[in-house]
């Protein structure tokens, strides 16, 4: 079974997801950095604290790392993330003369992704999240849920790394279906195809699952 059929089955289960922007590229980048190795609740709390405390991203760029870390401590790993955020903002300011990433909208997807990945702590998943959720580009983020479900479905080999998975899945999913595929695979991974105790008896993909 190909990815089109998988998407159709998941759409039948969870409904059709329509894309809408999650914010400007820089805000989505910072949100995604804060989401690394923590829960959505904690990362959202940290991001809201950050934008409430500082006037704008330039103010964050000039703030001491210790101040940033204190503001985002609810998100976990605050010292590491504060250092990454400050470095990213300072690099953008030095390279572009102002602290925003709106210029990414004028770049092709490959170049935009490469630009984002030159920042510290920004890998394939984080860069893809910015392009997909902020700019609506068909760039597939492979998080832990997407990776796990794709391996169980046989879309990826069990020796495939997460880095390799981005290119392999990107090639298998039609660009127009990237958003649907990502959103449904994440939801399915959270609700049914869990890392521990997967609810196989409830899975609409059971007939094509290689894990059985």
| Per-residue confidence in pLDDT tens, the chain, 212 aa | 689 999 999 999 999 999 999 999 999 999 999 999 888 899 999 999 999 999 999 999 999 999 999 999 988 889 999 999 999 999 999 999 999 999 999 999 999 999 999 999 999 999 999 999 999 999 999 999 999 999 999 999 999 999 999 999 999 999 999 999 999 999 999 999 999 999 999 999 999 888 75
Indicate which residues carry an active-site annotation: 125
Please choose, from the candidates 165, 148, 154, the residue with its C-alpha nearest in 3D space to the C-alpha of residue 207.
154
Please choose, from the candidates 206, 212, 208, 202, the residue with its C-alpha nearest in 3D space to the C-alpha of residue 154.
208
List helix spans (H) across the chain. 3-14, 25-35, 40-53, 57-62, 65-71, 78-96, 109-116, 124-129, 144-152, 162-172, 178-191
Report pLDDT for 212. 59
Report pLDDT for 75. 87
Q: How many CA atoms lie within 13 A of 43 on its CB side?
A: 15
Report pLDDT for 210. 81
Cα pseudo-dihedral 67, 72, 74, 78, rounded to 10? -80
């Amino acid at each position: 079974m190909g990815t089109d059929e998988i998407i159709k089955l998941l759409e039948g289960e969870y409904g059709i997801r329509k894309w809408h922007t999650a914010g400007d590229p820089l805000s989505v980048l910072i949100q995604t950095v804060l989401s690394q190795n923590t829960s959505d609740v904690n990362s959202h709390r940290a991001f809201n604290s950050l934008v409430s405390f500082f006037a704008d991203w330039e103010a964050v760029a000039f703030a001491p790392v210790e101040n940033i870390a204190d503001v985002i401590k609810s998100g976990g790993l605050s010292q590491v993330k504060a250092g990454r955020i400050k470095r990213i903002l300072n690099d953008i300011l030095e390279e572009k003369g102002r602290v925003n990433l709106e210029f990414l909208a004028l770049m092709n997807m490959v170049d935009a992704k490469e630009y984002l990945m030159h920042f510290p702590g920004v890998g394939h998943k984080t860069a893809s999240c910015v392009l997909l959720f902020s700019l609506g580009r068909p760039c597939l983020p492979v998080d832990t849920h997407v990776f796990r479900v794709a391996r169980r479905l046989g879309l990826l080999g069990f020796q495939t790394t997460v880095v390799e998975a981005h290119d392999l899945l990107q090639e298998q999913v039609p660009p127009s279906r990237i958003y649907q595929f990502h959103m449904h695979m994440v939801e399915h991974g959270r609700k049914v195809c869990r890392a521990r105790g997967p609810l196989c008896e409830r899975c609409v993909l059971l007939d094509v699952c290689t894990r059985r």
